Chains A and B, each alone.
Chain A
Amino acid sequence: MSQDLLYLAPIISVFAGALLGLLVEALAPRVYRFEAQTCLSGATLVVALIFAIRTFLSSNSRKTAVLGSVTVDGPTLGIWMLLLGFAIGAVVLMAERRAHGQTSAFTAQAATTPGSPDERAFLAARNEHTEVFVLLMFAVGGMLVFPAACDFLTAFVSLEVLSLPLYLLAGLARRNRAISQEAALKYFLLGALSSAIFIYGVALIYGSTGSFDYAQIADSLGQLKTSDKTIYAGLGLVIVGLLFKMGVAPFHVWVPDVYAGSPTAVSAFMAVCTKLAAVGATIRILFVPLGGLRWSWMLPLACIAVLSMLVGAIFGLTQRNLKRLLGYSSIAHAGFILMAIAMATTGVVGTQVGEFGSVGVSLFYMLAYGLATLGAFAITLLVRSSGGTEASEIYVWTGFGRRNPWYGIAMVVFMLSLAGMPLTAGFIAKLYVFALAWFNGYAWLAIAGLTLSLLTAAMYLKVIRLLFLSGGAAPSGSDNDQPTPTTSQASKPLNALIALCVMGTVFFGLLPSQFGNIAAAASVLLR
């Protein structure tokens, strides 16, 4: 039992931290609350991360299915470590006040109508919602359980636990509140729909196999009658629900709107952590209970991956808002990850790629994508229009790199990584994905991926060109009506976060084996 608790320690500490946060909210005086909540959530995540790393390093038999509903195995721990690491980054983004003129980026009072006198009063009082950290912690808790769950009920509950706080967080922007609330509503409606689809799929799978438990479903798949088509309907619906959370086309329509409308910190959190949790859950659900049906889902998923890359690349090219562009970028990258998942090699010894299976490659891809995306959102947070509101319109970025060379270089590194250029982790991640697909007989998929990488590269090039190669000229007549953009000062933690993201991106671009060993150890799924 104590062993079980140790396995569960990361989950327990995150939820405990969230509950403590509620107490802080109730008891601490308002002046200290923001700092208290920041420290509490940061510390909790660090503790959880330490627990996860300890379990990963210590236990050689990672097979205990704790309480029968959560599996703590290699992939779970790998995802937990990445997830907690990125969540710490998200906390840094959420805690940023210096860049926002010493107030948090979240609404002063969520209950007020946008533009009402009440709202102005709360703004004037410099009121802040510190509950956002508690919401974030609950979401992280759900994200930890989701990829570890080993029965469909736990999976569904954790899916809701991670989603509900996100719906709220999306609507809490301090400025542009109407857009933010619109984003929240869209996210909520489509999210609820996808949850319904997911649970319906679960019901159909239960109907044909008589179980919610992943292992039992896997066992009973063999005894299914061939005439039983219900299981395929269930499979399809469950996959749709998962792909929605991953933000894969054609279930992607919410992504750009929600990323653009939400507070930047929340967008970053959704783009990295939610996607990571969804990738983890997708891997487990597809490989463990539904692995027996892989011949029927591999090809469709490969096609969806291509579609997603295509949609992300083409629509991304036409965007004029950086947060929307990052949204489409995340759709395209979801396609690349799905490509690795669709190959369904579990990395068991004996596969051609040796240590590398779908899990290891997906993890590396998420690492590369996460570092670059988190960093890119962090820099987005700093760019202001003249009024001091956050401005992600793309023209604002003209000549940004000339005015702020260090941030400009960092942004270039992130864009190059997302574009899959060498010397960054993005190149190695793409190399792994394509090699995995090609080695598994999906050469056409790898070629499609290579071709579409070129298209996606064009989208990031557009940004790089704006950053450094445009602007710097004396304002001509046509430019005068546009307000001069400014860059706000970032606090030390935010700068450190950006620096870490740059260093990580370059490090894993040069020495990918360092992560490869971890990914190899983390790649064997247990039933």
Chain B
Amino acid sequence: MVLPLLSILAVLPIIGAIALFPLRTRDNRVFGFWVSLVTLAVAVACVVINRSTDLSEQVAWIRPLGAWYAMSLDGLSSVMVLVTCVLTTCVLGVGVPAAVPSQPEQTVGDADPGRPLPSGVFTPLVLGLQGLALFTFMASDLIMFTLVFEATLIPAFFLIGGWGSIQRGAAAVKFLLFGLAGGFLLLAGAIALGLQSATIGRPSMLFSQLAELDIPAATARPLFIVLFLAFALKAPLVPLHGWLPSVVEHTSPQVAVLLVGILDAVGPYGMIRLCLGVMGDEAKWASPVLLIVALVSVIYGALAALSERHLTRLVALTSVGHSGLIVFGIFAMSPVALTGAILYIFAHSLSAAALLLCAAFVAERTGTLAIGEFGGLARKAPVLAGLFLFAGLATLSLPGTANFAGEFSVIVGAFASHPWQAAVAIFATLLAAAYVLVAYQRVFTGPLRAEHANVVDVIPVQKWAVGVLIALLLAVGVFPRPLVQLADEASTFVMTQIGVAAPDVVVPDGAAGADDAEEDR
């Protein structure tokens, strides 16, 4: 009997959460942090062990529907699992969020917002969310995936509603309803796929078995669109992105880290898993349109971020743009671009998390998140300014960071087949430089405002939390080999499955190469 390591990995934080729940003391935070550290260690161990021994688990769950309790850890899952564990540890290290200031005109309204939830529940909720997210990223059965995917909404609902601005309750409801809408789309897709599987015999909802189905195009195409919409809502892509900025604005930045870094990553993850892995032919069919949709998100996210006046909303909007770039890489139908997209999911989650954590520290010190009300904070908090700048530079994909590795591969991979679209994407990344640097300039440089004279610099815990993220981004940027291996494995598998072979020449040199590729097609 082999130890069910993957189940242990996912259940560990949940057990931790339940064990912590009755404790209301401050120990709860420390203990929770240790639980997340242990989980991180187990996750790394699982990823390493899984290279040599297959850790997959599979037990029948609902027989008539062909649903399995099935977990596996391939390259893609490994990346997501690592992201989840790292971010959770950082958030728990930073601790329970303070209240988020709301802009004056927003305080009018029906709401009796009440006090934040007792701080003792924060850690258990975060751990619960982590456990469910781990299940989501390791599930290899569609019904189980749908179930845990929707289940993550429950702790997230309380996290959003528990800490944040005065409108956090409404934000939580909004988040849950949008999340449920995506969940129900996914459920519809799952049932329809299950029907296809049932018509050829005993139904089975395993991803691997669904991929082998031969579905007639007339059924498969609407089905593909439904699944894509479910994940586009989660990612989110324009025009389904409306919920993200307002939810991020009204919740605390720490919770926003989990939202943007972990839960939103389910969107691209699901696209690779289902839209590409299960319905590859339809993905090829839809690819031209999806690339345009993705580009619209890239441009929109960048332009909207450029004119944004609220620090966390700004990060949310950049995340919309980055999701666009990830989706662009996913549907460029090139192994290199897909590898880049997976790398970029990792990099984006970490860099957005670093920025949001910095925003949390800024809000804690100044009591505001409106960009216009800052100025010169670097003088009082130089380390914080440095951390913010590093995170920002990673966000704009400075060479040497993981973001650059991801973005570069996406664009290079896409260039061969889609030169014009890739060119537009490059343009959008230039905008990224503008919004990041403008935000840095407005917040940290210039004359110091009188009301911020007493601002102090980050405390060691906070320095460490962001520092670890930045160190990881730099490490992967400089030495991407291990992560690229994981991502490459996943993308090669998916691409051979749908019959797109890796090209011999990975990097076409300039426009000529692109033209050649164009003619080749």
Contacts and interface: CB of A to CB of B under 8 A. Distances in A.
A434 B188 CA distance: 8
A165 interface: no
B195 interface: yes
Interface stretch (B77-85, B86-94, B143-151, B275-283): B143-151
B184 A451 contact: yes
A511 to B, nearest CB: 8
Interface string A9-20: 000000000000
Interface string A328-346: 0000000000000000000
B184 A352 contact: no
B contact face: mostly helix, strand, loop, or mixed: helix
A447 B112 contact: no
Interface of A: 352-356, 398-399, 402, 416, 421-423, 427-428, 431-432, 434-435, 438-439, 443, 446-447, 450-451, 453-454, 457-458, 461-462, 464-465, 468-473, 479, 512-513, 516, 520
A507 B114 CA distance: 33
Given A355-B63, A473-B112, 6 more contacts: A354-B63, A416-B154, A423-B154, A450-B187, A461-B173, A470-B111
Given A470-B113, A473-B114, A454 B181 contact: yes
Interface string B295-313: 0000000000000000000
B154 A458 contact: no
A461 to B, nearest CB: 5
Contact of A469 (B114, B146, B180): B114
A427 B154 CA distance: 13
- Interface residue tally on B, bucketed by range: 35 or more
Contacts of A352: 195, 198-199
A432 B194 CA distance: 12
A425 to B, nearest CB: 12
B62 A421 contact: no
Nearest to B173: A461
A443 B223 CA distance: 12
Nearest to A427: B147
A contact face: mostly helix, strand, loop, or mixed: helix
Contact of B168 (A469, A512, A513): A469
Given A422-B147, A422-B151, A454 B199 contact: no
A435 B114 contact: no
B324 interface: no
30 contacts: A352-B195, A353-B198, A354-B63, A354-B202, A355-B63, A398-B112, A402-B118, A421-B180, A422-B154, A435-B195, A439-B194, A443-B192, A446-B191, A454-B184, A457-B177, A461-B173, A461-B177, A464-B157, A469-B113, A469-B114, A469-B158, A469-B162, A469-B168, A469-B169, A469-B172, A470-B169, A472-B114, A473-B114, A473-B115, A513-B61
Contact of B195 (A427, A432, A438, A520): A438
Interface of B: 60-65, 111-115, 117-118, 143, 146-148, 150-151, 153-154, 157-158, 161-162, 168-169, 172-173, 176-177, 180-181, 184, 187-188, 191-192, 194-195, 198-199, 202
A450 to B, nearest CB: 5
B172 A465 contact: yes
A465 B169 CA distance: 7
Contacts of B65: 353, 431-432, 435
Contacts of B187: 431, 434, 450
Nearest to A462: B173
Given A451-B184, A469-B161, A434 B168 contact: no
Contacts of A461: 173, 176-177
Contacts of B115: 472-473
Nearest to B194: A435
